[in-house]
Amino acid sequence: MSRSVLVSGGCGFVGSHLIDRLLRRSDLEKLVVVDNLWTGARQNIAHVTDPRFSLQIADAESFSSSQRFDEIIHLASPASPIWYMREPVRTIKANIGGALNLLMLLKPGGRFCFASTSEIYGDPEISPQPESYRGSVDCTGPRASYDESKRCTEALLFEQQRVSGLDVRVVRIFNTYGPRTRIDDGRAISNFVIQALTTGILTVYGDGSQSRSWGYVDDIVEGLERFFWRDSISHRGPLNIGNNHEVSVLRIAEFVSSLVPGSRIEHQPPVPQDPTNRCPDLTWARHVLPGWEAKTGYQEGIERTFEWFRQQIAATMRSKAR
């Protein structure tokens, strides 16, 4: 059956890649993106010419429409700590308010998909983290607007599933990187790449021994598409989606630095409550999405990301020179 789909946050980094994939589907009838361009950019979807696609510039928490959708994919929320810490109330509204509002635009029997995060595991005491792990989080800490609003939205959706049978798909996405991240996004890999290409000084917070599992965006959105689109599924989530190769921040910075001779690493004070480690247990993902794996190693993914940013920066400099 052909589907009408609404994607909130579709002008963002992950959302714009997911849209590219969804528009390749012949069983997609219509795709409406709702985005307020807070952390996203029109540029990310400027290449889209498909007549099934339309963009609504609006807040997910107040967008209204007479249309009802077969599937809603709620991605609207900043993911970068510096952005969500700067506007915590807006972050909470985007996640929880967005979900509450968008639920009303779903057709009866429709499916609601949500991008949750590995942040809900906080600073984990076990590794890797299975979906059953309840996390080590701080509801009054500096990351609370993000991780607690993701937790609350998960609660909202799974409670709706319990009381009304809502078709829910929740993914917990681990650190994802790649082309179309904002130049001023502030997350580690894009920051290191831009710093290497501009100032030549890569800022590592603390000693850099903290680790993450870095997923290249193409691999991650393939997992999202497969989980969100498939009808018959034995497990509706939450589902960890990520690369399970854990690498320290220092090693990532060293690799990026090796791409630009003369660049160097500078250590800065550690970030308060920076999680020390993060690695997905992918047992469920392998079971639900047979054959799917985040295959791209960090060196290959960073080289591709590096090349994309190099071209962006060169294009910006050319247009300034004109």
Length of the chain: 322
Tell which one of 29, 37, 43, 258 touches ligand NAD (CB under 6 A).
37
Query: Is 121 a known active-site residue?
Result: no
Tell which one of 5, 6, 19, 36 touches ligand NAD (CB under 6 A).
36
Of ligand UDP, ligand NAD, none, which one does residue 76 interact with (CB within 5 to 8 Å by kind)? ligand NAD
Nearer to ligand NAD, 260 or 312 (CB): 312
- Over the window 72 to 101, marking each residue x when it contacts ligand NAD by CB under 6 A and - when it does not, the resulting string is ---xxxxx--------------x---x---
Tell which one of 101, 191, 213, 257 touches ligand UDP (CB under 6 A).
191
Q: Is 160 exposed, middle or buried (0-12, 13-18, 19+ CB in 10 A)?
A: middle
Q: Applying CB under 6 A, does 294 fall inside the site for ligand NAD?
A: no
Distance CA 27, CA 239 (A): 24
Q: Applying CB under 6 A, does 208 fall inside the site for ligand NAD?
A: no
Q: Applying CB under 6 A, does 59 fall inside the site for ligand NAD?
A: yes
Closest approach of Cβ 296 to ligand NAD, in Å? 14
Q: Applying CB under 6 A, does 274 fall inside the site for ligand UDP?
A: yes
Distance CA 322, CA 305 (A): 26
Phi, psi of 239 (to 5 degrees): -125, 125
Binding range to ligand UDP, per CB under 6 A, among 58-66, 84-92, 105-113, 187-195: 187-195
Closest approach of Cβ 91 to ligand NAD, in Å? 8
Check: CB of residue 73 under 8 Å from CB of residue 169. no
Nearer to ligand UDP, 205 or 255 (CB): 205
Two tokens at 314? 């060169």
Phi and psi based region of residue 41 (left: phi greater than 0; alpha: psi -120 to 50; beta: remaining): beta
Check: CB of residue 232 under 8 Å from CB of residue 295. no
Of ligand UDP, ligand NAD, none, which one does residue 274 interact with (CB within 5 to 8 Å by kind)? ligand UDP
Question: Would you tell me the crossing angle of helices 13-22 and 217-229 to the nearest 10 degrees?
Answer: 60
Q: Is 163 exposed, middle or buried (0-12, 13-18, 19+ CB in 10 A)?
A: exposed
Question: Among 177, 207, 213, which Cα is nearest to 193's?
Answer: 177
Active-site pick, 84, 121, 146, 298 = 146
Residues annotated as catalytic (active site), given as ranges = 146
The residues that touch ligand NAD, with contacts defined as CB under 6 A, are 8-9, 11-15, 34-40, 59-61, 75-79, 94, 98, 115, 117, 173, 175-176
